[in-house]
Amino acid sequence: MSLISTRDLTKSFTPDVVALDNLTLDVDPGIIGFVGANGAGKTTFIRILLGLLPPTSGSASVLDMDVRGDQMAIRRVVGYMPEHDCLPIDVSGADFVAHMGRMSGLPFQAARERAAEMLRHVGLHEERYRLIGGYSTGMKQRVKLAQALVHDPKLLLLDEPTNGLDPAGREDMLSLIARTGTEFGISVLVTSHLLGEIERVCEQLIAIDGGKLRYNGPLATFTELTERLVVELDDDSPELATTLRSRGLDVDANATLLRITVRDDSTYDLIRDAAAELGAPIARMHLTRHRLEELFRDQVAANG
Amino acid sequence: MGETQIASAKGPGGALYDLGYQRYTGVRLQRANSVRTLFAFSLRTAFGLGRGARSKLIPSIILGIVFIPAIVSVGAASTTGFQALISYSNHLQFTSFLIALFAAAQAPELIVTDRQYGVLTLYLARPLTGVLYALAKLGALIAAMMVLTFGPQLLLFLGKIFIATSPWAAFKDEWTVLGPLIAGTLTVSAFIGTVALAISSFAGRRAYASASVIGFFLLVPAAATVIRSLATGETKRYLILAHPIQVIIGFGNWIFHIEAKRRTQVGRADLPGSYYLAVMLAVIIVATAVLLLRYRRSEA
């Protein structure tokens, strides 16, 4: 069974504004990171999966249910946590999550029990009886997650769940997401504009840019694709870059800073040997990562 | 934490165990359940139930004002034996103004807050369409207004029967009024409720919505009065139909078989009662259509 599947999925709001451009992908169950810059089409993608926006062309299905014909059935087994505020202020967390459980089809008693259970899971204890208006941003994010989980969905769609949180709050939210995906066995699609953040919790990765699919596959492969070795030299040594290039490495040199694409372990050997031959004064070496935007720019350049 | 302790206390032999995450294997109800749930939740919201103290203020005041005269009237009649209770049609006119205020205050509470705070997004991600959402909200508002209009009337009705020396005989005399009572209060509630919700569906904030609804029920009558004063003859007679309050009065007179006093506007216009009903039904249909179209865009 395929978790999410799209074929030539396109969504344009006006002829000029194409939010999703011929997206074809298949996603297996698991924890999936969905990255792209702001405005790349992440929210549009989620809204199409929920049947809230009709695709302009192409098709999409969730758990083998079509987003156009079966959106009610999809919504019964999908939990959605929107990016922006979506909570009333003058209802208690416990009441609201239970209400949302009933809206998803749970009977009264089951909704109340599961609401209590989910609020405990996300770490809201006594506060759940207070009105949501008095909650901190972190607590609100927890309620948003709890209402997405209350009806025991098969798939969770989390849109930028760490937005607006302080570093500790981000950490908490990410470990909650990881626990939900692993312990609960619920598939999670989590979007972010920060790859560094979600790569810690996800197993698969989808990257889009300007509505176009850039990557869809295991996270590990993506990491290899995007990793760069930074070599810092004590003083300028242009020969090192030249030598490494002549030995087939992809080197981006900028005075005393070399950025080298790591292919496999032999890359390190090549650098070691070249540095030893030339007596290049290496001060420091560390692995870094292309920022998403850079990666996309490189690929666009390469494709174009 | 509380749940964990309770769970472990119930465990066999008192052994500690962690329930962990439990999948839900019970029944999953259909869309009709979601609509019912939203209706009931919104009806409670209309009276501020399950909400903070401030949300209960306006509904409580209006509840008090509409019920107290009926309660006092019944109470006074029962102790003095004096039978002159408030008439149904007087009470309908009296509550019309109050339920318009209630609608202006609570219609925004029902739909504007959902938009303003983004809750609508969560509702629409549930097995529910935009149109069903709007219908559930409309039903809840009209039901709440029925509590305010039909509730006191029912009290007056029961009062009349049980104060009478022979309740059964009184019931046989009075029961025919139940039909007009229900039809009358329902039509007036729907008339004001649909307009209030349709107007509120365009507002981004509660205060704007409330002001617009109040404005509608003040400005339209004012405009109708001005235009009427300029008109003459037949046109003048028919222009009363543009005045919401007079329409309610004309409708109330008709449904309770009351001859309008000649000096009142309704008396002077001397139109068939069904005209007032026709205007109200037309307004209800148009306002409902506007509301549903507003929310139809929200569904795919």
Q: Give A242-279 pLDDT, tens digit per residue.
A: 888 888 888 888 878 888 888 778 888 888 888 888 88
- Is B52 within 8 Å of A133 when comparing Cβ atoms? yes
Mean per-residue pLDDT, A19-38: 92
For B52, the closest of A52, A116, A131 (CB atoms) is A131
Name the residue of chain B whose CA is nearest to A157's CA.
Answer: B125
Q: What is the pLDDT of residue B172?
A: 87
Q: Which long-range contacts (CB under 8 A, 24 or more apart) does A167-174 make?
A: A169/A137, A169/A138, A169/A141, A170/A197, A172/A123, A172/A138, A173/A138, A173/A141, A173/A145, A174/A198, A174/A200, A174/A201
Task: Give the span between the Cα atoms of A176 and A174, in whole angstroms.
Answer: 5
For B34, the closest of A68, A103, A120 (CB atoms) is A103
Task: Give the span between the Cα atoms of B167 and B9, in whole angstroms.
Answer: 57
- Is B50 within 8 Å of A84 when comparing Cβ atoms? no
For B31, the closest of A72, A87, A183 (CB atoms) is A72
- Is B125 within 8 Å of A95 when comparing Cβ atoms? no
Mean per-residue pLDDT, B109-119: 94
Q: What is the pLDDT of residue A136?
A: 94
Residue B9 has pLDDT above 50, yes or no: no
Which pLDDT tens digit goes with each residue over B259-283? 777 778 888 888 888 999 999 999 9
pTM of the model: 0.85
In which residue are the tokens 């007679």 written?
A: B237
User: Of A188, A209, A213, A195, which is closest to residue A81 (Cα–Cα)?
Assistant: A188
Residue A21's SS3 state is: strand
| pLDDT interval class at B91 (50, 70, 90) | confident
Q: Which long-range contacts (CB under 8 A, 24 or more apart) does A110-115 make?
A: A110/B24, A110/B26, A111/A150, A114/A150, A114/A151, A114/A152, A114/B24, A115/A146, A115/A150
Asked if A51 and A75 count as a contact pair (C-beta separation under 8 A), the reply is: yes
Residue A40's SS3 state is: coil
A89 near B CB under 8 A: yes
How many residues are there in chain A?
Answer: 304
CA distance B18 to chain A (A): 12
- Best to test chain B binding among A86, A117, A179 (most B CBs inside 10 Å): A86
CA distance B13 to chain A (A): 23
Chain A positions touching B121 (Cβ under 8 A) are 82, 84, 86
Q: What is the pLDDT of residue B7?
A: 42
Residue A34 has pLDDT above 90, yes or no: yes
Task: Give the span between the Cα atoms of A58 and A43, in whole angstroms.
Answer: 18
Task: Give the span between the Cα atoms of B111 and B196, in whole angstroms.
Answer: 11
Asked if A19 and A55 count as a contact pair (C-beta separation under 8 A), the reply is: no
Residue A175 has pLDDT above 90, yes or no: yes
- Is A52 within 8 Å of B128 when comparing Cβ atoms? no
- Is A103 within 8 Å of B52 when comparing Cβ atoms? no
For A103, the closest of B20, B30, B126 (CB atoms) is B126
Indicate the range of A97-101, A107-111, B32-36, B172-176 predicted with least confidence.
B172-176
Residue spans of beta strands (DSSP E) within chain A: 4-12, 18-27, 31-35, 57-62, 65-66, 78-81, 155-159, 187-192, 204-209, 212-218, 227-233, 251-254, 257-261, 282-289
Residue B11 has pLDDT above 50, yes or no: no
- Is A117 within 8 Å of B3 when comparing Cβ atoms? yes
CA distance B160 to chain A (A): 40
For A107, the closest of B26, B125, B300 (CB atoms) is B26
A85 near B CB under 8 A: yes
- Is B24 within 8 Å of A71 when comparing Cβ atoms? no
Indicate the range of A247-256, B31-40, B72-81, B243-252 predicted with least confidence.
B72-81
Residue A287 has pLDDT above 60, yes or no: yes
Q: What is the pLDDT of residue B5?
A: 43
| pLDDT interval class at B73 (50, 70, 90) | confident
Task: Give the span between the Cα atoms of B266 and B254, in whole angstroms.
Answer: 11
CA distance B256 to chain A (A): 41
Q: Which residues in chain A (240-259) have CB-CB distances under 8 A to chain B?
A: none
Give A288's strand partners. A228
Which pLDDT tens digit goes with each residue over B177-195? 888 889 999 999 999 999 9
Tell me, what DSSP letter sits at residue A92? B
Chain A positions touching B49 (Cβ under 8 A) are none
| pLDDT interval class at A295 (50, 70, 90) | low
Q: What is the pLDDT of residue A298?
A: 56
CA distance B29 to chain A (A): 4
Mean per-residue pLDDT, B150-172: 87
Q: What is the pLDDT of residue A149?
A: 95
The residues, ordered by sequence, that sit 6+ positions from A276 with a Cβ below 8 Å of its Cβ are: none
Give A66's strand partners. A61
∠ CA B109-B113-B114 to the nearest 5 degrees? 115
CA distance A146 to chain B (A): 12
Indicate the range of A39-43, A71-75, A194-198, A211-215 predicted with least confidence.
A194-198
Mean per-residue pLDDT, A102-111: 96
Residue A95 has pLDDT above 70, yes or no: yes
Residue A105 has pLDDT above 90, yes or no: yes
The residues, ordered by sequence, that sit 6+ positions from B49 with a Cβ below 8 Å of its Cβ are: B56
φ, ψ of residue A12 to 5 degrees: the values are -125, 135
| pLDDT interval class at B18 (50, 70, 90) | low
- Percent over 90 (pLDDT), chain A: 57
- Is B24 within 8 Å of A152 when comparing Cβ atoms? yes
∠ CA B45-B201-A108 to the nearest 5 degrees? 35
Q: What is the pLDDT of residue B2?
A: 41
Chain B positions touching A78 (Cβ under 8 A) are 125
| pLDDT interval class at B85 (50, 70, 90) | low
- Is B122 within 8 Å of A82 when comparing Cβ atoms? yes
Task: Give the span between the Cα atoms of B93 and A244, in whole angstroms.
Answer: 92
φ, ψ of residue B282 to 5 degrees: the values are -60, -45
Residue B84 has pLDDT above 80, yes or no: no
A120 near B CB under 8 A: yes
Residue B131 has pLDDT above 80, yes or no: yes
Asked if A155 and A62 count as a contact pair (C-beta separation under 8 A), the reply is: yes
- Is A104 within 8 Å of B127 when comparing Cβ atoms? yes
Name the residue of chain B whose CA is nearest to A104's CA.
Answer: B126
Tell me, what DSSP letter sits at residue B21? -
Q: Which residues in chain A (193-232) have CB-CB distances under 8 A to chain B?
A: none
Residue A240 has pLDDT above 60, yes or no: yes
Mean per-residue pLDDT, A136-160: 95
How many residues are there in chain B?
Answer: 300
Chain A positions touching B108 (Cβ under 8 A) are none
What amino acid occupies position B295?
Answer: Y
